[in-house]
Chains A and B, each alone.
Chain A
């Protein structure tokens, strides 16, 4: 066979290509697949968190805020452990961002809480003197789109095998089950149950009333998303 290949330059070139490509694939693919597995402690987004993620994207938060902590001491001091690729396993699309006009938000859920986000979104300069971030007052009245979030959940659960309704390992050794509704009504009910927990920690009476009436303002969804970033 090698003699035959030596006499046929074209097929020789093809054979060389196939050999090197094969070697490359078995070198690269397993490592790549391993690195992109979710790390322990990374759970899929719940319906409300996903709706909040859509709010985040809709308002272009990623234009000013990154979600990627680089392995530098100065960054890990401020934001927490540097990012690992597996932590983005359920991010579609990822929101790494490319510019930090504001701080990184990769682990904002570790060091900011619901009431702080509420104060901050209403009037950023009131809690952060000199902040140039605009107020996002419309989030307090706009309603979050739970149906779209549920549609996305269904899609990613089916096509990317995102483990909804299945135990996911957590860092402390326990497991967590992120629920996904079986129907639109069920998904809305799940999101509302989650929203009630958030709203209980909020001060804005209009938001509390809206949630009590079964509506979910965008601010509740985006706070749920922020709190999930850990």
Chain B
């Protein structure tokens, strides 16, 4: 018998024995454990295939002789036959080139991961969802949405109850406070509450039609209390003489002239969110990151709060 086959049988026997010992010695052994049986079957197959393949190629190396015509060139005495490229090799070679071109031009550029790309996709998904579910809500749902936006963005200054945290910012449960009215009358105002430049003059430009003179300190105090009190109480005559011309008899404002000082309106709140505001309590920043619907919702919420 050929020495090679003998070695093959010895190696096979040793490896199978080793497999048997290690499996039989393990928990579960060879009886009834399907996983162990599968492992043994796999091991046996591997051993047999390995030995068979090794024997085949060793025999080939021992017996094969090269055939074909040698090329003229010789590289450091290493010659080359002029045999044609085997078909399998040729196909793989060309296939690799085609794949390489595809990967270079399409595969990598189109499918490469980009963090910003993923962010843009996320944003797109979010915006589509917003458009589909929330872009057309009205009424109570709009107010609910306004409350949630308020709690995310506004409560940090206006407080959870929108009470302005002890005068640190505007109390949104009411339209306006007396010190704010007083400040605006004394200093004028230009906060784009109507969405465009529409300055209100300071006290040097405010005449009281009743007296025919500039508004006085006492009149300012009276009208401030009147406006802050929800357009009632003393001071109505000063209001009628000085403020009503622009802000309306009822304080509801006039389009393109003056904003409502009796009630909040969603448009007014949206304009404050768009342009920011500066007054006696401090400065409110503009909120560019809210979209138009969110601003409208906050407006609806605050209008509802101050009813």
Which A residues are CB-close (under 8 A) to B285? 110-113
Is B289 a contact of A113 with CB atoms below 8 Å? no
Is B119 a contact of A80 with CB atoms below 8 Å? no
A-B contact number at CB 8 A: 52
**Stretch in B45-53, B79-87, B134-142, B276-284 with 4+ CB within 8 Å of A:** B276-284
A72-B119, A73-B126, A127-B156 known; A115 and B281 CB under 8 Å?
yes
A110-B288, A128-B156, A129-B160 known; A115 and B119 CB under 8 Å?
no
Question: For the complex, what is the distance from the CA of A201 to the CA of B166, rounded to whole Å?
Answer: 18
CB < 8 Å: which of B165, B281, B283 contacts A126?
A: B165
CB < 8 Å: which of B118, B122, B153, B283 contacts A113?
A: B283
Is A82 a contact of B119 with CB atoms below 8 Å? yes
Interface centre among B153, B168, B169, B284 (most CB of A within 10 A): B168
Produce 1/0 per residue, A48-80, CB < 8 A to B: 000000000000000000000001110011001
Question: For the complex, what is the distance from the CA of A71 to the CA of B114, rounded to whole Å?
Answer: 11
CB < 8 Å: which of A73, A111, A129 contacts B122?
A: A73
| A227 CB, nearest partner CB in chain B, Å | 10
CB < 8 Å: which of A77, A114, A115 contacts B289?
A: A77
Interface residues of A in 70-113 (CB under 8 A from B): 71-73, 76-77, 80, 82, 110-113
**Closest residue on chain A to residue B284 by CB atoms:** A113
CB < 8 Å: which of A80, A119, A129, A201 contacts B168?
A: A119
Q: Does any Cβ of A come within 8 Å of B123's Cβ?
A: yes
Question: For the complex, what is the distance from the CA of A115 to the CA of B284, rounded to whole Å?
Answer: 9
A80-B289, A110-B288 known; A116 and B157 CB under 8 Å?
yes
Is A127 a contact of B168 with CB atoms below 8 Å? yes
Which B residues are CB-close (under 8 A) to A129? 160
A111-B285, A112-B285 known; A127 and B157 CB under 8 Å?
yes
Is B282 a contact of A113 with CB atoms below 8 Å? yes
Is B287 a contact of A111 with CB atoms below 8 Å? yes
Interface residues of B in 162-207 (CB under 8 A from A): 165-166, 168-169
Produce 1/0 per residue, A114-141, CB < 8 A to B: 1110010000001111000000000000
CB < 8 Å: which of A73, A112, A113, A127 contacts B119?
A: A73
Is A115 a contact of B288 with CB atoms below 8 Å? no
Q: Does any Cβ of A come within 8 Å of B132's Cβ?
A: no
Q: Does any Cβ of A come within 8 Å of B116's Cβ?
A: yes
Q: Does any Cβ of A come within 8 Å of B115's Cβ?
A: yes
Which B residues are CB-close (under 8 A) to A119? 168
Which A residues are CB-close (under 8 A) to B289? 77, 80, 111
Interface residues of A in 10-48 (CB under 8 A from B): none
Question: For the complex, what is the distance from the CA of A203 to the CA of B287, rounded to whole Å?
Answer: 24
Per CB-CB distance, the 9 closest pairs between chain A and chain B, nearest first, are A115-B282, A71-B119, A113-B283, A73-B122, A111-B285, A119-B168, A113-B285, A71-B115, A71-B116
Q: Name B's A-contacting residues (CB within 8 A).
A: 115-116, 118-119, 122-123, 126, 153, 156-157, 160, 165-166, 168-169, 281-285, 287-289
Q: Name A's B-contacting residues (CB within 8 A).
A: 71-73, 76-77, 80, 82, 110-116, 119, 126-129, 201, 203
| A-B residue pairs in contact (CB < 8 Å), sample of 29 | A71-B115, A71-B118, A71-B119, A72-B122, A73-B119, A73-B123, A76-B119, A76-B123, A82-B119, A110-B285, A110-B288, A111-B153, A112-B156, A112-B285, A113-B282, A113-B283, A113-B284, A113-B285, A114-B282, A114-B283, A115-B168, A115-B283, A116-B156, A116-B168, A116-B282, A126-B165, A127-B165, A129-B160, A201-B283
